[in-house]
Amino acid sequence: MNSVIKKHLVSLILVNYNGNLFIEKCLESIKNQVYDNIELIIVDNASSDNSLSKIDKITKDYILIKNEKNLGTSKAYNIGAEKAKGKYLFFLNIDIKLEKNCVSKLVNICEEDEKIGVCACKELSYEGDEFHHCGVGMDVFGYTYPGKLGRIFFTPSSAFFTRKDLFLYINGFDDSYFMYRDDLDYCWRTHLVSYKVKQVPSAIIYHKAGGVSRGRKKKILSPRKQKGQKFILSLKRRYLGERNNLITLIKNYKLISLLWVLPIYFVINIFEVIFFLFLGKFKVIYHAYIKAYLYIFKNLRDILLKRRDIQKKRNIQDREVLRKMEKKIGKLHALFETGIPKVE
């Protein structure tokens, strides 16, 4: 086991955006890893706080990339990966802490099976008192669904461990997403080239969900303990989520699947628009639907070019991918669990 730990370099790519409240604890957890072959690449998305001034107090051994503006998570990750030399890439958000043996657990499990392409860590709350997930499920419309032991579809990009050769082969994260659904899209493409998305419950992380981005609950709780809590979403998150979700479907399904998935998807959207009209939520209708669809029409050529590359590389049929998806509708589950979100 020790020979494995010392043999392969892991490139840990940390994205920072105004992470003043979290950067010290995040860096401390990286520094305290028992795994002793890590290169640290910090990509800063034009932070306006003093978070970068705290780095040298904790570590001197890192590469710093400063973006002139906030490019989003997916593009920042890709920029960091361009500098990475490791066999494995471990992408992290700034509001994450790692258990001390997290990296070693991930490397060791991947060394046991070369077809493991992505690993899902066990995510707990930042304080460690609530279980969040160990990977997430997905329905046929791209909506998320709670993951189960032995049954997940993807893992969130807040802590995302993957092989560099796979990352390069499938062209990394789609940086047009900015953020949200980039992780789901990456894992879908991972499935299409016959790599596995593997749960690793022994690799533990602590996440301040919504610590940096807006999209939060009044109190951060486990997904199973949401009743009575008001879930709050920003208009930007609502827009990016819906837009990126539809792009993901267009890119990754075969045409025959799109012919039945998209009509049902559009019907769901129509009912949602009618519902928000009834509530007088006109801003939600514009951002989540009109603006999202306008973006897709405007950028359809680029989306179809990416689709062509994905379909060329895939080596399994949709029926095999569908077996990995939930047969229930994720949006309905979220509605019953958390109620109607407040959009700000």
Q: What is the pLDDT along the chain (344 residues), one digit of tens a residue?
A: 444 445 799 999 999 999 999 999 999 999 999 999 999 999 999 999 999 999 999 999 999 999 999 999 999 999 999 999 999 999 999 999 999 999 999 999 999 999 999 999 999 999 999 999 999 999 999 999 999 999 999 999 999 999 999 999 999 999 999 999 999 999 999 999 999 999 999 999 999 986 665 434 433 333 334 444 555 678 999 999 999 999 999 999 999 999 999 999 999 999 999 999 999 999 999 999 999 999 999 999 999 999 999 999 999 999 999 999 999 887 877 767 766 666 66
What is the pairing mode between strands 88-93 and 10-16?
Answer: parallel
Q: Residue 242 contacts by C-beta under 8 Å, 6 or more apart in sequence?
A: 269, 288, 289, 292
- CA 141, CA 268: separation in Å to the nearest integer? 10
Nearest to 201 by CA among 106, 121, 102, 101: 121
Domain locations in the chain? 95-167+175-344
